[in-house]
Amino acid sequence: MTVVRRLVTPAAALLVSAAAAGPATAAAPSTVTAGTTAVRPAGTSFRALDRAGVRVLPLGDAVRRGPRIELAATGGRVGAVAAVEHHASDGLALVRGARTVRLSDLQLRIGRGSARVTGRIDGGARHAVLRIARRAFTVAPGGRAATTRPSTWTLTGRAAAALRRRLAVPDLRAGGFAVASVGLHLVPPGTGAPTVPTPIPVPAPAPPAPDRPAGTVLGGAADWGLRASFRSYIEHGIAHGRIETSGGATRNPDGTIRFGTASGTVDPASGAVDVRFGGTVYAEGHGAGEAAALRLWITNPRIVAASGATEGEIRGDVRSKSLDTNEVVAYPDVAFARLDLTRGQRTSAGGVVTWTGVPATLTEPGVPAFAGFYPAGSELDPVSFSITTTTP
């Protein structure tokens, strides 16, 4: 996830008078292509929740980085009125014992008259859940990035009443809930991109589920690159190919793949894991499309490890076409890679379980699934993953 650092350029600040912003800014907003909203829980409402034992955790593909929870910006615009969109399934999970309340589908709107965050509580109707203490965006020279200074997010009365009832926190009232800042990548108007962003498909909200069994996965993501030399061979070598992601998977700046939308179960105490991550990575080379001699799809990788195990597996639905055949063969839920859990770093705190740098090697069943490209036991890229659960 890329965070755009705050760029101090006062002369380029948006959301000021038309004379300062310039008529082109008001008439043609810049398009948001990516970015991050960083939320740090703080304030009177948060303290009431904290006293009652409520934990604020990342939901969906949102991730925790220290005291902050970061949500990826997926679209929007910045002009006289700024709008920032996030994935519908991402957000914040408020957990108290067996009770879980989801604040999801969060969208920011900062205009002349108001600044607010709308969202859904447990998949219900959209309404204003937070008010934003107004802060202008600062735009970098060239108009390719915009940031805000940290600003207080205040829980609305309607949202406070819903959380008070669902989490059984009688003294919860509207008030400060978090301090947040936003960093965005922009495409300025007149640079070949549409000035109004293409609408982003939003999946239907999940039905309310306030009570979940302990150990249920609320969200998370996994970072894995398959194998660095393979990526280089496809994209920069004689294969003259390409690697694409879809279905919730994205490319990291270092070329690895982030698979999101985690689901499953995990036991933070024993280390038992059975978690599926969403998304597909597709690689092709030596030709294009159906004519490519090498084609590989890996969809919805699943990390599995038994209680107290020193090894685990990466399983997934794989299809491949090797250099020796013209047929695409499916390998459903194949044990693709072996994980050495003794050499990865594991942490568990506040309902978030994280594994970092877990070594992975290709299995025997993974050889044909990987288009026969490497022998069994070949070293693959290490995997890192973080999972938010209902278990403290």
Across-strand partners of 285?
294
For residue 328, being part of any structural domain is answered with yes
What is the enclosing helix (H) or strand (E) of 18?
helix 18-21
**C-alpha dihedral (127, 109, 251, 39), degrees to nearest 10:** -80
Measured from the Cβ of residue 265, the count of other Cβ atoms closer than 10 Å reads 17
pLDDT value of residue 90: 86
Q: State whether 250 and 143 are in the same domain.
A: no
Same domain for 148 and 232, yes or no, is: no
Cα 295–chain centre separation: 27
**Residue 146 and residue 239 in one domain:** no
Does residue 296 lie within any of the structural domains?
A: yes
| Residue-range definition of the domain harbouring residue 62 | 10-187
Please give the structure tokens belonging to residue 86: 């996030």
- 282 and 348 share a domain? yes
Q: Which amino acid is at 109?
A: R
Q: Is residue 366 part of a domain?
A: yes
Do 178 and 255 share a structural domain? no
Q: Are residues 95 and 29 in the same domain?
A: yes
d(CA 70, CA 65): 7
26/153 same-domain check:
yes
Are β-strands 63-65 and 68-78 bridged in parallel, bridged antiparallel, or unpaired?
Answer: antiparallel
pTM for the full predicted model = 0.54
Taking each continuous run of H as one helix and of E as one strand, the counts in the chain are 6, 25
Are residues 167 and 30 part of one domain?
A: yes
Residue numbers in the chain where pLDDT is lower than 70: 1-27, 190-215, 268, 323-325, 391-392
Report the pLDDT value the prediction gives residue 324, as an integer from 0 to 100: 67
| Residue 133: DSSP 8-state | -
| Same domain membership, residue 254 and residue 155 | no
170 and 240 together in one domain: no
- Asked if residue 124 and residue 55 are part of one domain, the reply reads yes
Q: Are residues 173 and 226 both part of a single domain? A: no
Domains of the chain: total: 2
Residue 196 lies in a domain: no
